[in-house]
């Protein structure tokens, strides 16, 4: 006999897919259950149970029924907490929200609770909703998401000689080894090393360890922005074996 269990939790919509003529399949990142996929019956023609709450990045309190753990849950209702409406009024904000949303979706396994990642994601959406879209904070939150899922690159010391960041001026990021090497340890055998200055490394390290609300206040020089973007993109490409879907759109959008 199937046992139905009823649950309630906070959730952020990652994305939705139309199913049949009336239904929607929704992928959610929840506070207590991690990433789940749910069926929202009648969501396309009735807004009573899901009043605008199935739009990407909407934060709501969801009720759902679970039958078997590996199957889709059935969404009963979603009570809105924050629509983050400003994210839809500025294409750059839409782009940035999509970027972090895709990272959360891609790097988090199904049904694995990760409250730190949930708080990071909701804090980012809230900050983006209230303030301007800054590429420095986007890079900072990308680093933080990687840290939350256990993929933070090792940036605190040279992975070969263990020399600390404070002891050198210039380092090279090598995606294959997942961290940095100093200018004395880098060798021609290291594929596609990226030169990164100490200032950039320290700023990126800060995003991993600082309180979440401080990431949004981070400022980067033009050089550090370029280096940080290249480092994060290269590392993600190495981890996934492909670019994120949002990568080419990010290239099309000029940062303000």
Partner 1 sequence: MKTYPQPLQKLIKELARFPGIGEKTAARLANFILHESEEEAKSLAFAIIEVKEKIKLCRICYNLAEGPICSVCADAKRDRGVICVVEDPDSLMAIEETNDFNGVYHVLHGSFSPLDGVGPEDLRLKELLTRVEEGPVKEVIVATHPTTQGEATAVLIGKSLKEKGVKVTRIALGVPVGGDLRYMDRLTLGKALSFRRSVDEG
**CB-nearer residue toward partner 1: 21 or 166:** 21
Q: Shortest gap between Cβ of 52 and partner 1 (angstroms)?
A: 4
**CB-nearer residue toward partner 1: 44 or 238:** 44
Q: Shortest gap between Cβ of 84 and partner 1 (angstroms)?
A: 10
**CB-nearer residue toward partner 1: 7 or 88:** 88
Residues in a beta bridge with 39: 25, 74
Cβ 68 vs Cβ 88: under 8 Å: no
Which H or E element spans position 151? none
- Tokens read off for 216: 């949004």
Q: Shortest gap between Cβ of 17 and partner 1 (angstroms)?
A: 10
Under the rule (CB under 8 A), what is the footprint of partner 1?
15, 18-20, 47-48, 51-53, 55-57, 80, 83, 85, 87-91, 94-95, 98-99, 101-102, 245-246, 248-250, 252-253
**CB-nearer residue toward partner 1: 139 or 158:** 139
Q: Shortest gap between Cβ of 249 and partner 1 (angstroms)?
A: 4
Q: Shortest gap between Cβ of 79 and partner 1 (angstroms)?
A: 10
User: Taking each helix axis from N to C terminus, what angle separates 135-148 and 91-107, rounded to the nearest 10 degrees?
Assistant: 10
Among 120, 156, 157, 122, CA closest to 140: 120
Cα 73 to Cα 67: distance, rounded to the nearest angstrom: 7
Exposure b/e, 205-232, CB count within 10 A at least 16 = b:
bebbeeebeebbebebeeebbebbbebb
**CB-nearer residue toward partner 1: 10 or 79:** 79
């Amino acid at each position: 006999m199937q046992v139905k269990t009823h649950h309630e939790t906070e959730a952020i919509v990652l994305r939705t897919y139309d199913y049949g003529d009336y239904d929607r399949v929704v992928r959610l990142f929840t506070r207590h259950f991690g990433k789940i996929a749910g069926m929202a019956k009648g969501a396309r023609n009735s807004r009573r149970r899901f009043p605008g709450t199935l739009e990407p990045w909407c934060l709501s309190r969801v009720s759902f029924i679970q039958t078997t753990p590996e199957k889709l849950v059935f969404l009963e209702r979603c009570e809105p907490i924050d629509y983050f409406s400003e994210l839809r009024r500025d294409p750059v904000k839409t782009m940035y929200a999509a970027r972090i949303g895709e990272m959360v979706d891609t790097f988090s396994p199904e049904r694995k609770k990760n409250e730190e990642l949930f708080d990071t994601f909701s804090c980012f959406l809230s900050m983006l909703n209230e303030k301007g879209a800054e590429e420095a904070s986007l890079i900072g939150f990308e680093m933080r998401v990687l840290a939350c899922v256990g993929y933070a690159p090792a940036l605190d010391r040279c992975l070969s000689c263990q020399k600390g960041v404070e002891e050198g001026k210039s380092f090279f990021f090598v995606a294959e080894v997942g961290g940095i090497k100093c200018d004395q340890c880098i060798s021609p055998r290291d594929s596609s090393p990226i030169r990164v200055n100490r200032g950039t490394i320290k700023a990126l390290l800060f995003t991993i360890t600082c309180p979440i609300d401080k990431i949004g206040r981070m400022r980067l020089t033009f050089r550090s922005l370029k280096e940080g973007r290249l480092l994060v993109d290269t590392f993600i490409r190495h981890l996934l074996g492909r670019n994120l879907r949002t990568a080419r759109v990010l290239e099309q959008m000029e940062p303000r």
